[in-house]
Amino acid sequence: MSLDSDSSSQGGHRRSFRQITRDRLLFEMLRSTRKGSKSAWKVLIMDKFTVKIMSYSCKMADITEEGVSLVEDLYKRRQPLPSLDAIYFIQPTKEKIATRRLWLGLALAALTPRGFGS
């Protein structure tokens, strides 16, 4: 069976790898975060690897339409933006996961009320 007959049996609609990747990033990752979000805008934090994936697949206008107002590098110092939700799109390495757990632990510790005994 040829590829042409396969595509015609599926409605004749072929999508490129770029289009499939774009749809998954925009609709499954970014759009899915709209539910339960505390703000209309979000910060997208990426590493060098995932920046390449995002730039290959999407335009900045696409990302902005999905509610991302700021794109940040994972390794650069950032100002805290407590009023915005953050989306981390990073390559899952042991180092990055351990660092992310440390950040979450520090953030939770800062939010935990502390009592003082007399």
The rounded distance, in Å, linking the Cα atoms of 53 and 49 is 7
Q: Where are the domains of the chain?
A: 16-109
The rounded distance, in Å, linking the Cα atoms of 29 and 68 is 12
Tokens 């007959």 belong to: 5
Query: Beta strand 68-73 with 42-46: parallel, antiparallel or unpaired?
Result: parallel
Question: Which of 3.30.1490.20, 3.40.50.2060, 3.30.365.10, 2.40.50.100 would CATH assign to domain 16-109?
Answer: 3.40.50.2060
The rounded distance, in Å, linking the Cα atoms of 43 and 73 is 10
Residue 54's pLDDT is what? Answer: 95
Which residue stretches of the chain have pLDDT < 50? 1-9, 111-118
Coil, helix or strand at residue 68 = strand
pTM of the model: 0.67
Residue 107's pLDDT is what? Answer: 58
Residue 14's pLDDT is what? Answer: 86
Residue 8's pLDDT is what? Answer: 42
